[in-house]
Structure 1
Amino acid sequence: MPSRTLRATTPEIALLRVHFTPEDIGRVRVAAAPDPLWEIVNSFQALVIGSNPLMFGDWRRRARQRLTPACTLLGPLLPSVGYFPDFLTPDLNGTFDLDHAVGTVLDTPRSLVHAHLSELAAARRRSRPLPPVVRSLAEGSPEALHRLGTALHTYHRNALAPFWPRIRAQLEADLALRVRTLLRAGTDGLLGGFRPVLRWRPPVLEADYPVDRELRLDGRGLLLQPSFFCVRTPVTLASDEAAPVLVYPIQHTPGWARERESGLGSLIGSTRAAILEGAVTGSTTGELACRLGISAAAVSQHTAILRGAGLVLSVRRGKYVLHTTTSAGLALLDGRTPSPADR
C-alpha cells in the first residue's frame, strides 16, 4: 500500500503502539531543531480546523491576513481530516534549512509522488476530486512542481517566519528538557518522560491515536520530532519503508503570538534582531538560516544591511561566510546607544 500519513476521521481514539527491540533502545534520537515541513503541515491543518483558539487564535488571525493565492495549492494536499501524502514530510537527515527541505520534497521520485497522490485521490473520491494542478503534480509536471515549491516557501514566509524565533525558542526549551532527562535517566527515562502524551511500557511506546496502528521498529531506531503545531496526539507516517519518526506535541506559552512591537525588534525588525543575537558567538549564513527558518538568500540580504550599519562583521572562511556581531551590535543588544568607540 502506498505510504500516507493518517489523521482522524472520527472522534474515536484508538491506539498507536511502537514496538522496540533492544537495538532500538540505543537508536532513539530527539531532533535537534524544528522540521520546517512538519511545521508547515501541522500549522496549515491547525489554520483550517480552527481548533484550540486559546493557544492558536492570535496566530491564526494574523497568519490568515498574510496568506496569498500562492498558498491555495496546499488546501487539497493537506485536508483537515484523513490522509495527506508522506512525500511532503521526508526525512531531512538532520538538515532543517527550508531550502534543503523544499528541495527534498521536489526531488521525490515521480513514481512515489504519483503513488501518494493516487492514494489521496482515492480517499477524497467520496467528497470531491482533486483539482487539475494536483493531478498534474501526480503526473510529474515541472510547472506543478514549481507551484508546489512556491506554495511551501510562500506559506512558510507568511504564516511561520514572522513567528519563527518564538516557535524555535519553545521547541528548544522542550529539547533542553529532553536532553537533561536523557543525561539523568537514560533512554528509559527519556521515553518515560513524555507522559501523558506518550506512555512507555517497555518494550512498547503507546499513545492515543486516530486509528489503531502497530509500528515495529525492527532495529531501525526512532526519531522523536517535537512539533509546535502538533496538537493532542502524535503523528507518524504509515510507510513501513520510511525511517521511523514520531512527531509529538510540546507545551506552549500562552500569548506567544500576540503583537510585540517594543525593544530592538521594533527598531530594526524582529528577523534582523534575531540575526544580530544569533551572530554573537559567530554563525554562518546556513546556521542562521536554519535557526530562523528562512532562506540563506534572505539571511544574506539582512546581514548586508546589518553589515552596512556596522552591526555585523562578515568574513569568508573557505566556502562559508561567518557573521559576528560587532561591539556596536552588542551595544544595541544590551539596550544602550552605541558610542563612537563602538563603531
Structure 2
Amino acid sequence: MGRVEMLRIHFTGEDLARIRFATEPDPMWEMLLSLRRLRGRDAGVLLGPWLRESLPRVPAATAMLTALVPPVGYAVDFLTPAVGGGLDAQVDALRSTPSHRVLEDLREFARQNATRRLPPWSRDLVEGGPAGIGRLADAAHEYVDAVLGPFWERIRAQVNRDRSRRSVVLAGGGWDAVLSTLHPSVRWEYPVLRIDCRIDLDLHLAGRGLLLQPSFFRRCAPTLLGDPTLPPILVCPIEHDVNWATPEVNPAEGRALAALIGPTRATLLCALADGVATTGQLARRAGTTAPNASRHITALREAALVASQRHRNATLHSVTELGLALLEGGNPRIPA
C-alpha cells in the first residue's frame, strides 16, 4: 500500500481557545469551489437547480478564473484573501495583492499542476501592475454577481443553519465534539486534527487559532489555503437541506405575520429561522439600528419566541419551538 495522504493540524491549548466560527459564507471561497462544480457538471441532484440556472449566466471573463482553478488540487491562494467585510472588501484585497505574492502562488501552481500550462496572460498578473491583477479581480466580481448573486440569500441561509447546528454541538460537548463531527474524513485526537485528503502536510497553528469556514459548495473533505504561513482557515462542507432551492416566501402570509407581531419583529423572527445570530447581524438584516433591534428582540424573548445566551463577548439569539410554530403558521421566511 502507498502512503496515505493526510493533513495534520496541530493545536496548542491556546489554539483551542481561539477556534471560532465564520459568521457568513465567504464569497471568494464559494466562487472558487462553485467553479469546480460548474466545470465538472457534477452538481448532482442537490446542486442541480443552481447548475441549470447558472450555466447561461457565466460571464466570458470567467475563463481567467478557471485557468487558475483546476478541477482538483491546488488553486492559487491569492484568489481567496483572508479578509472580512464581504465581496467588495475581498475583491479590493485581491486587486491589491503584492506582485511577490502572485509570483509565489503561480510558481506553486506550476509545481503542483505540472500537466497544466498557465496561459500567457498570467505574466501580466505579475508584470502588468495594478491593471493586470485588476482584470482578474473584475472577473471574480462579475462571476460572483452573475452566478452566485441570484442564489446568495439561499446560500447564506444554508450556511447559517449549519452554523446553528454546530453551535448546538459546541454547547453540548465543547470543541472536542465540534472537531470530531466536522466530516467523516476527519479524526480528532488532541492535539492533532487529521484529515484524509489529497495533500500530505503538517500545519502547526502555533497560537494563531483556527477559523472554521462553512462552505455551501464544498462537497468533500475540509480544505485550507496551501501556504501554511497564511491565516489558518479550515473550509468545511455543510449539511444541506435537500429542498434548499425551493422558494419559501408567501407574500400574503408574510403580511399576516407582520400584522400580528409588527414588521420589524416579523423580519427579525424570520431571520432567526435561518440560524443563530447576534444582535448586530439581526439589525443589519432588518435594516434598523442595533438598539432598536435589541428592543424588539427583548419583546420577542418575553413572548417566548426567541431565546438568547451569552457566548464570549456576544449575545447569540435563536428561535424557540414556539417561534418556529408561529413561522410555520405564518411566513417561513421574510426577506430583510
TM-score by length of 1: 0.70
Counterparts in 2 of 1:147 and 1:279: CA distance versus 1, 3 Å: farther
Instruction: Please say if residues 226 and 250 of structure 1, whose CA atoms lie closer than 8 Å, have aligned partners that are also in contact.
Output: yes
Aligned residue-pair number = 273
d(CA) in 2 for partners of 1:36 and 1:19?
27
Verify the 8 A CA contact 2:15 2:208 in the aligned structure 1.
Answer: yes
CA–CA distance in structure 1, aligned partners of residues 139 and 233 of structure 2: 25
Q: 2:311 maps to which residue? A: none
The structural deviation recorded for 1:236 is: 1.1
SS in 2 for 1:84: coil
- Are 1:31 and 2:22 matched, yes or no? yes
Match of 1:206 among 194, 201, 226: 194
Alignment partners' CA distance in 2, 1:248 and 1:278? 32
Question: How many angstroms does 1:123 deviate by?
Answer: 4.4
**1:62-108: per-residue Cα shift (whole Å, max 9, x none)?**
1111112122211101111232111111211xx24110111111112
**Alpha-carbon deviations, 1:209-260, whole Å to 9, x = none?**
01222111122111111101011111112212111111110111224336x4
1:101 maps to a residue whose letter is: Q
Contact 2:158–2:244 (Cα < 8 Å) also in 1: no
Residue 191 in 1 paired to residue 182 in 2?
A: no
Task: Answer yes or no: is 1:153 the counterpart of 2:141.
Answer: yes
* Match for residue 96 of structure 2 among 77, 87, 107: 107
Tell me the CA shift for residue 146 of structure 1. Answer: 2.5
Secondary structure of the equivalent of 1:214? strand
Q: Paired residue for 1:119?
A: 108
RMSD across aligned positions (CA): 3.3
* Secondary structure of the structure 2 residue equivalent to 1:17: strand
Look up the match of 1:75: 66
Write out aligned runs for 1:245-260 (5 A): 245-257=233-245, 260=247
SS at match of 1:240: coil
- Alpha-carbon separation, structure 2, partners of 1:313 and 1:138: 41
Helix, strand or coil at the partner of 2:61: helix
- Structure 2 gaps, min length 5: 253-262, 272-279, 292-329, 332-336
The match for 1:45 is 36
Instruction: Report the counterpart of residue 215 of structure 2 in structure 1.
Output: 227
**Structure 2 SS opposite 1:78:** coil
- SS for the counterpart of 1:80 is coil
The CA deviation at 1:194 is 2.0
Q: Distance in 2 between matches of 1:179 and 1:121?
A: 40
Map of 1:239 onto structure 2 = 227
Asked if 2 retains the 8 angstrom alpha-carbon contact of 1:124 and 1:130, the reply is no
| Structure 1 unpaired stretches of 5+ | 1-11, 266-275, 292-311, 318-333, 336-343
Determine the C-alpha separation between the residues in 2 that align with 1:103 and 1:278: 35
- The Cα of 1:25 is off from its aligned counterpart by 1.2
Partner of 1:179: 167
Could you say if the C-alpha distance between residues 29 and 75 of structure 1 is closer, same or farther in structure 2, counting changes exceeding 3 Å?
same
- In the alignment, which of 100, 106, 131 is matched to residue 120 of structure 2? 131
Between 1 and 2, higher relative CO (CA 8 Å, sep ≥ 6) is seen in: 1
Deviation, structure 1 residue 127: 3.6
AA paired with 1:61? Answer: R
Distance 1:163 1:313, change over 3 A: closer
